Amino acid sequence: MIRLTTSARSYDKRVYVFPGHYTIPENEFRKDVFGRCVIYTANRSKRPKQFVTPKTKKKILPRDCIFCPGNEDKTPPEIYRVEENHKWIIRVIPNKYYGVHPLYPKAYGWHEVIIETPDHYKTFSDISKHHAVQLFKVFRKRIKENMKDKKIKSVLIFKNEGITAGASLEHTHWQLVSSNKKFPESKKYIKYFRKEPENKLEKLLSFEKERMVFETKNTIVFCPYVSKFNFEVWAVPKKFHPRLDEMNDTVLNDLAMSVHKTIILLDKMLNYPSYNIVILTSPKGSSLQTHVQIYPRIAKWAGFEFGTGCAFNSVLPEVAVKEYKKVL
Ligand SMILES: [Zn+2]
């Protein structure tokens, strides 16, 4: 809090204070080791309840949904599936509306869709822990397959849940995009982890630990010091793992369960908000720490964010972490 004296208020007319208020919450600029920055607007802060909107109801029926069982022939030919009791529980298909394609020399890559459940009405937090682990094993397998293509340099796996997060189909799913380019976003992480990555990771995690939501044997989940979105949260392995496709079962299972648990908390806290999940893993030839970033899409990015690369955020991560812990 900034406490304003009467003389300060009368001296500088630019300091706007509501009549009768003698204090204003203090806003704060923060920059992290990756060069990401944020301005916390404490003077706009709200309680989680004020962010809650009614859960969006599905408009399309399973019979009309191309991702539902029975409509398999309406999707491009299947790449891979996981079955249980002779029925698929996870399906990988090429994206019908690809952004990259091996036949595009100027936008080379593969664009896949991972349908994580046959159940039209489930979201990621509704699937079981065991199912989440199987899903991450599919991610590992698909990254490995994509990396076998000599031209491919980078692979990104992501999820857009809800209309505000950019989901175009209601049936919950993930996407994989691989490219012959190095994604610009990964460069800031590669730069940080270039020298002594194990030490750098240890330094980062010990710094972020004060904003920890929970930890498991192999991962830590925290609201980062620089959170560019309200209630942003990251899941990071405790040891340095540059490539998800080379991660062992123990760490991968832990990471999958941590992300799954985090989304359960988020859905409980904010009543199934829209969100994006991105899984960052190293491109060929460079190293960054494989980790998962979760962006609840409550506040909209606008001119300031596009013009500066910095974000306004009305929720301090120190406040966000307390709210996550309340539903833990
Ligand atoms: Zn469906």
Q: What angle do CA 4, 7, 13 make, to 5 degrees?
A: 80
Mean pLDDT, range 172-177, rounded to an integer = 97
Task: Give the contacts of 246 (CB within 8 A, at least 6 positions apart).
Answer: none
Q: How far is the CA of 74 from the centre of ligand 1 (A)?
A: 12
Give per-residue pLDDT as tens, 291-320: 999 999 988 888 999 999 999 999 999 999
Residue with tokens 């899941």: 235
Residue from 181, 223, 237, 245 nearest 320 by CA: 223
Expressed in angstroms and rounded, the spacing between residue 90 Cα and the centre of ligand 1 is 13
Question: Please, are residues 284 and 14 in contact by the beta-carbon 8 Å criterion?
Answer: no
What is the mean pLDDT of the segment spanning 158-176?
Answer: 89
Q: Is it the case that residue 11 has pLDDT exceeding 50?
A: no
- The residues near 53 (Cβ < 8 Å, ≥ 6 apart) are 271, 273
Average pLDDT for 211-225: 98
Confidence of residue 145 (pLDDT cuts 50, 70, 90): very high
Residue 180 — very low, low, confident or very high, per pLDDT cuts 50/70/90? very high
Which tens digit of pLDDT belongs to each residue from 47-97?
667 777 777 777 889 999 999 999 999 999 999 999 999 999 999 999 999
From the CA of 271, how far away is ligand 1's center (Å)?
21
CA of 186 to the centre of ligand 1 (A): 33
CA-closest candidate to residue 143, choices 133, 131, 152: 152
Residue 68 to residue 62: CA distance in whole angstroms: 6
Ligand 1 center to 165 CA (angstroms): 18
Q: What is the pLDDT of residues 277-293, one digit of tens each?
A: 999 999 999 999 999 99
Six-digit token pair at 238? 């405790």
Domain 62-326 in CATH 3.30.428.10? The answer is yes
303 versus 202: which is more confidently predicted? 202
Residue 177: is its pLDDT beyond 90? yes
Ligand 1 centroid to residue 65 C-alpha, Å: 5
